[in-house]
Amino acid sequence: MSEAGPSSDPSNAQAAQIPLQDFILPSFPAEASSLHSLTLTSDIKLDEYQGLLQSQSNLEIPPLPSSITDLTLELFSLGFPASFLPQLASRLPNLKSLTVFSSLIDGLDSATRKDAETFIQHIAQNGLRQLHLIDTFCRPGFIRITASAFHDHASGDAADSKGSLQLLEVSYTYRGHNDPTFSSRMPDSEIAHLAAIPSLVAASLVLAAPALPPEGQNASLEDPSNLDANGKLIDDKRPEGIIPISGSSSTILETALLNVKQNKRSVEKRMLDTTLYTLTPAQATKILAAHPTIAVLSMCLIVRHGGDVWFTELKNALKESKELEVLEIVAIPSQEVYEKARAASPSTQDTLAGLLFPSPVEVEELGSLCPKLQSFKMDVLRTRSSGAMEWIRQESDGRWVGGLIRAEGNGSSS
């Protein structure tokens, strides 16, 4: 067990990370009473994983320090053995933050699915404040059950004494370039229902672009799915960008964000990231009118026309956002916009930037419309090859500084 704290004294340790080669947890010494954060990391060999799920089912988890408030479960790609998650919840009565990273949270069978549901019900009723689900998958129906558990608790009287979920993060790294099943495996329509939890102050439903390997590093840090049999980038290009979810799931998200205001226990939102979904400017206008207290906002918005029409739509969407401080727009150009850019210039990227990105004068207009706005970023589908724009308002004199960030030509568009 590795510990991180101000000294090597176990009584001073604030965090512990335990790599597990099976599901047997160590006993903690009495001196670990100051431990606040526990990370369990799977280091289980894949060819042994399923066998351990069977042989270590109903294994008793030893007592854990009651001081633990933050739990991280990472890399449990085949889930957990029977009874593991419910026991973990009961051993951590003061849990306030849960992070699940790159794991199959509800496992492979009906027993582990039931365990995961019990686990979620327990931590919701016990007043979990933060939930982070990062690159975590599950079978159909589980996220909807999760949404109901936290919604029901936040809507009931028990929330007054125990507290309820305030911060939600559901984040996926886009893998659709090399995995044609990626989008179909995401429970996007169920995730949208999470936005209806009335206690949320911050909600992040994120689709991130694949990260670049550190500059100057060799191909060993490159995503293997980007490489050919010789370890070289396929077609000498690295896939980039995202394709956010569109269609009925976006409508479910819009409905959830509008209906949550009707709940008598609904709190004012301060942070909203919906980049997992494609929204129209009209949908954004309705959502932001219902949530005028948002200070930090990120959205994927479809741009059907570009130019003055697009800027007018953007201003209309933001007209009620007087508390907005940080704004990120991920533009999704329509086919009409792409064709207009191609017809105007051989350099489609530069013309696309002109059609999509507000001019310095228009940025000033947005600053007047949203008087607290301090930062404004915009890109095209999170691609590097299409360029980006970034503006910062100086505190000293209120002037906007920044502009276009030139496109990088070493990627391929999604």
Residue 376: which of 312, 309, 331, 310 has the closest Cα?
331
Place of tokens 């694949």: 210
Q: Which amino acid is residue 7, in one-letter code? A: S
Categorize the per-residue pLDDT at 224 as very low, low, confident or very high, splitting at 50, 70 and 90: low
83 vs 237: CA distance, rounded Å? 46
| Residue 277 CB coordination number (10 Å) | 24
Lowest-confidence segment of 96-105, 181-190, 235-244 by average pLDDT = 235-244
At which residue do the structure tokens 């930090």 appear? 296
Over residues 320-341, the mean pLDDT reads 94
Average pLDDT, the chain: 89
C-alpha triplet 364, 369, 375: angle, nearest 5°: 60
What pLDDT was estimated at residue 179?
A: 87
Beta strands in 209-295 (DSSP E): 238-239, 271-279
Cα–Cα distances (Å) from 278 to 175, 257, 305, 323, 395, in that order, read 17, 15, 16, 23, 33
The pLDDT assigned to 351 comes to 73
Per-residue pLDDT of 122-143, as tens digits, reads 999 999 999 999 999 999 999 9
Mean pLDDT, rounded, for 233-251: 81
Tokens of 71: 């739990």
pLDDT in tens, 4-53: 433 456 667 799 999 999 999 999 988 888 899 999 999 999 999 999 99
How many angstroms separate the CA atoms of 193 and 258, rounded? 11
Burial annotation 232-243 (CB, 10 A radius, 16+ → b, else e): ebeeeebbbbbb
Mean pLDDT across the stretch 309-330? 97
Q: How many Å apart are CA 358 and CA 363, to the nearest integer?
A: 6
DSSP 290-319: H-TT--EEEEEEEESS-HHHHHHHHHHHHT
48/42 Cα distance (integer angstroms): 12
Residue 230 has pLDDT above 60, yes or no: no
pLDDT at 137: 95
Q: Which of 403, 395, 396, 405 is nearest to 374 (CA)?
A: 395
Please compute the mean of the pLDDT values over residues 320-343 and round it to a whole number.
92
pLDDT value at 412 more than 50: no
Of 356, 342, 414, 359, the C-alpha closest to 385 is: 414
> What local confidence, expressed as pLDDT, does residue 42 receive?
98
Q: Please give the model's pTM, rounded to 2 decimal places.
A: 0.90
Is the separation of the CB atoms in 85 and 115 below 8 Å? yes
Taking the CB of residue 138, how many other CB atoms lie within 10 A of it?
22
From first CA to last CA, the distance across the chain in angstroms is 42
Please report the pLDDT score of residue 85 as a whole number.
98
Rounded Cα distance between 102 and 175, Å, is: 13
Residue 235: pLDDT above 80? Answer: no
Average pLDDT value for residue range 233-246: 76
Q: Which residues contact residue 182 at a Cβ distance below 8 angstroms, ignoring those fewer than 6 apart?
A: 174, 175, 176
The proportion of the chain whose per-residue pLDDT surpasses 90, expressed as a percent, equals 74
Statement: residue 106 has pLDDT above 80:
yes
Mean pLDDT of the 145-159 span: 91
Q: How many CB atoms lie within 10 A of CB 63?
A: 9
Within 8 A by CB and 6+ apart from 11, the residues are: 31, 32, 33, 34
Q: Of 18, 25, 60, 64, which is closest to residue 43 (Cα–Cα)?
A: 18
pLDDT of amino acid 215: 58
* Each residue's pLDDT tens digit, 265-291: 999 999 999 999 999 999 999 999 999
pLDDT in tens, 355-394: 899 999 999 999 999 999 999 999 999 998 888 999 999 9
Question: What is the Cα–Cα distance from 377 to 203, expressed in whole angstroms?
Answer: 19
**Residue 349: per-residue pLDDT:** 64
Higher pLDDT, 162 or 311: 311
The pLDDT, as a whole number, for residue 411 is 43
pLDDT of residue 413: 38
Question: Which pLDDT score is estimated for 159?
Answer: 74
What is the mean predicted confidence (pLDDT) over 54-64? Answer: 95
Report the distance separating Cα 50 and Cα 354, nearest Å. 54
pLDDT of 7 reads 42
Q: What is the pLDDT of residue 11?
A: 64
